[in-house]
Structure 1
C-alpha cells in the first residue's frame, strides 16, 4: 500500500525541480530558434556538411529534404475511404503459472467511410508453447519476454499487410485506403540483435511493407508525444565550435561540455509547436539512423503535424514519401482519423482496444488452459504457492 503522507515532502522537491526544468527548457528553445533561423538561410550548405562528415558525427541526425521553413496545409481527404490498423498485446510467460507459455494477441480494425459497410473489429490470438518458440532466443542471450515483444512487432506488420490486401481487393480503384500502426517504423532494438536473430524479425516486416507497396496502400506510423531529437540534432551542426563536425577526432569523451549540447535535450515537437498551425505539416526529413541501412529501399522519412491537440510525428517509407499525391492523401486521411478520435487516430485506438489483454481475459485464458491440461490427463495442475499467495491477502 502506498503511503501518500510520506510522499508529500518529496512532492515539494519534485515541483521545484520541474519549475527549474521549465525555465531551462524555455532558454533552450530560444537558443534553438536562433539556430533554426540561421539554418533556414544556409540549409543546403549544412546538408552538404552533414553528408560529407556523416561517418564522423556521433549523434543521430536527420536530413531535411524540403525547405526548413515549410509549413504546408494538409488537404481535406475524400469522404469515401477506408482505414486499416493493427496493434498487439501479450501475456508474458511466467514460471509460477500452470504452464510456461506466452500469447500474442493482434487487434485488427477496418473502418469504411461513406460506403455503407460494416467495420471489422476483432483480434487474432496465437499461443506459443513449443521449446523452439520459448527457448530459441536463449542462444543469443535474449530473454524470452524480450523475444516475445520482437515477435509481436513482426506479427503486427504481417497481419496489417494481409488485412489491407484483403480489404483492397473489395474496393474500387477510386476508393483510397490507408494502413496505420501505432509507434515508429524505425525499430531501434534491431541494432542490438545478433544477425541470426535479426533475420527472423526484420525480413517478414520488410516483405509485408513491400506487399503494401505493390497494392498501392500507403503505410504510416503515428507517434504521439514523440521524444525524437533527430531534427534538433541537425541544428547542432550549426552550433559546432570546430571548422568541421568531426566528433570522432575533436570531441572523444567530451560531448557533455560542448556548445552543440546546449539544446540537445529539446525535442523536435517543442520547436515545431512554435512553427506550425493546426492542420499543417513540417518539411519532410530523411532519417539517417544506422539501423536503416538494413532496410534496403525501405528508408524511413518523417514529418511533424499539428493535429490540434499536439504535434505528432508521422513516419512513412520512402515509396510513400516520394509519391507526393499518395503522401498528401495519406496525411489527409490521418488527420481525419485524429479528428474522429478526438485527438488520436480512432483506428489505432480501436486496434489497441481489440488487442489489449485485461485481467479478466488473462484469468479466463489460464482457466481454459487448465481445463485442457486436466482433460489431457495431467495432474497437479495449478499455480505455484508464491503466485497463489500474492493473489490474496489476510492482512
Structure 2
C-alpha cells in the first residue's frame, strides 16, 4: 500500500527541481531559435557537412530536405475519405500460469467518412504455444518477452497491409456496382458488413496501380523507425523486418499513404542538426575534436532540448515544419521505405509525423496523409480517433486475461491433462489473508 504522507514530503523537492528545469529549458529554446535562424542562411553548407561527416559524428542528426524557414498550412481534407489503423496488445508468458504461452491481440479499424458505409471495429487474437514460437529467440540471446513484442510489431504491420487490400477490393466492387446499377444501397451495405478477407471477391479487383475511389490513410501508433532492430543479430532481424516492409509495399501498391503518429515525441534528430551550426570547428569531426570532452563539448549546449519543444515556438495550429530525412542507421535496411518526418501543430500539441520515402516524394500522397491525419486528431479531440479505437479494440484487460486462461484450462482438462492450475506463488498473490 502506498503511504501518501511519506510521499508528499518528497514531492516538494521534485517541484523545485522541475522549476529549475523549466528555466533552463527556456534558455535553451532562446539559443535554439537563434541557431535555427543562422542555420537557414548556411543550410546547404551544413547539409553537406552532415552528409560528409556523418560517420564521424557522435550524434544522429536528421537531414532537412526543405528550407528551414518553411511553414506550410495543411490543406483541408476531402469530405469523403477512409482511414485504417491497427494497434496491438498482448498477454505475456509466465511460468506461474497454467501453461507457458503468449497471446497477441491486434485491433483493426476501418473508418469511412462521407460514404455512408459501415465501419470495421474488431480485433484478431493469436495464441503462440509451439516450442518454435516460445524458444527460438533464445539462440540469439533474446528473452521470450522481448520476442513477443517484436512479433507484435510484425502482426500489426501485416494486418494493416491486409486492411489496405480490403478497402481496395471493396472500392473496386463499389465502382462495378455503380456502373452496372444492379444492386440497391441496402444490398451494398450488407455486402460490406459481411465481407471477410478470406471470402471470394464478387467483382474483379482493380489493377494494382488503380487509385482507390476516395483518399485513404493508414495509421500506426508510434514511430516507423524500429530502433530495437539495430542490436539484433542479422538472422533475428530477418524474421522481423521483411514482413513489415512487405506490408508497406502492399500499401504503396494501393496508393494508401502510411503515417506513424508520435505523440509527445522525445526525438532530438532535428535539434541535433543545429549542433552542426553550434560547432566551433571548420569540420564537425567529433572523434578528433571532442572525443575527450564528454558532456562538455561545445555543441551540447542544447541538450536535452527536444524537437517538439522547439517547433512549438515556431508553428501555428494547422501548420507543419519542413520535411526531414532521418539518418538512423537501421534505415539502411529499409530500401525504398526510408523514413522522412515533419512536425505538425495539431492544436493540442506538436506531434511528429513519420512516413516512408514514397509518401514524402509524392506531393498528392503527402498532402492527403497530412490533411487526413490532422482531421483524425480533430475528430479525436487531440489524438487520432482511429488510433484510439484501434487501441481500445486491442487492449487486453484483467477480465479478458482471466477468461483467456479459464478457456485454456477447460481445453487442457478436456484433452485429459491433469494437475492443471497456477503455481502456489501466483495463487497466493491473487488473494491475501492479511
Q: 1:341 to 1:255 in 2, by over 3 A?
A: same
How far off is 1:264 after superposition? Answer: 2.4
- Matching residue of 1:152: 152
- Matching residue of 1:6: 6
Spell out, residue by residue over 1:42-79, the C-alpha distance to the aligned partner (whole angstroms, 9 max, x if none): 11111111111111111010001001111100000110
Spell out, residue by residue over 1:200-234, the C-alpha distance to the aligned partner (whole angstroms, 9 max, x if none): 00000011111111111110000000000000000
CA distance in 2, matches of 1:192, 1:269: 27
Q: Secondary structure at the match of 1:181?
A: strand
- Matching residue of 1:366: 405
Contact map agreement 2:311 2:350 (CA 8 A) in 1: yes
CA distance in 2, matches of 1:132, 1:250: 49
- Matching residue of 1:205: 244
Task: Describe how 1:349-360 pairs up with structure 2 within 5 A.
Answer: 349-360=388-399
How far off is 1:332 after superposition? Answer: 0.5
- Matching of residue 66 in structure 1 with residue 105 in structure 2: no
2:384 to 345, 350, 359: 345
CA distance in 2, matches of 1:258, 1:354: 48
Let me know the Cα RMSD of the aligned residues.
0.8
Task: Describe how 1:268-347 pairs up with structure 2 within 5 A.
Answer: 268-347=307-386
CA distance in 2, matches of 1:100, 1:30: 54
Q: Secondary structure at the match of 1:112?
A: strand
How far off is 1:253 after superposition? Answer: 4.3
- Matching residue of 2:27: 27
How far off is 1:107 after superposition? Answer: 0.3
1:185 to 211, 214, 224: 224
- Matching residue of 1:48: 48
Task: Describe how 1:167-186 pairs up with structure 2 within 5 A.
Answer: 167-171=167-171, 173-186=212-225
- Matching of residue 122 in structure 1 with residue 161 in structure 2: no
Q: Secondary structure at the match of 1:243?
A: coil
Moved more, 59-68 or 166-175: 166-175
Task: Describe how 1:251-262 pairs up with structure 2 within 5 A.
Answer: 251-262=290-301
Contact map agreement 1:101 1:127 (CA 8 A) in 2: yes
- Matching of residue 195 in structure 1 with residue 241 in structure 2: no
CA distance in 1, matches of 2:67, 2:307: 16
Q: TM-score, normalised by structure 2?
A: 0.90
CA distance in 2, matches of 1:386, 1:333: 50
How far off is 1:174 after superposition? Answer: 3.2
CA distance in 2, matches of 1:277, 1:132: 51
Contact map agreement 1:168 1:177 (CA 8 A) in 2: no
How far off is 1:125 after superposition? Answer: 0.3
Spell out, residue by residue over 1:336-393, the C-alpha distance to the aligned partner (whole angstroms, 9 max, x if none): 1000000000000000000000000000000000000000000110000000000111
Contact map agreement 2:164 2:250 (CA 8 A) in 1: no
Q: Secondary structure at the match of 2:75?
A: coil
Which 5+ residue runs of structure 1 have no aligned equivalent? Answer: none
CA distance in 1, matches of 2:3, 2:55: 52
Task: Describe how 1:90-105 pairs up with structure 2 within 5 A.
Answer: 90-105=90-105
Q: Secondary structure at the match of 1:383?
A: coil
- Matching of residue 131 in structure 1 with residue 94 in structure 2: no
CA distance in 1, matches of 2:320, 2:353: 9
Which 5+ residue runs of structure 2 have no aligned equivalent? Answer: 176-211
Q: TM-score, normalised by structure 1?
A: 0.99
Task: Describe how 1:187-266 pairs up with structure 2 within 5 A.
Answer: 187-266=226-305
CA distance in 2, matches of 1:91, 1:322: 39
- Matching residue of 2:184: none
* Corresponding residue pairs, total: 395
CA distance in 2, matches of 1:56, 1:102: 43
How far off is 1:255 after superposition? Answer: 3.1
1:375 to 414, 420, 426: 414
Q: Secondary structure at the match of 1:126?
A: strand
CA distance in 2, matches of 1:200, 1:97: 28
Spell out, residue by residue over 1:87-136, the C-alpha distance to the aligned partner (whole angstroms, 9 max, x if none): 00000000000000000000000000011111100000000000000000
How far off is 1:41 after superposition? Answer: 1.4
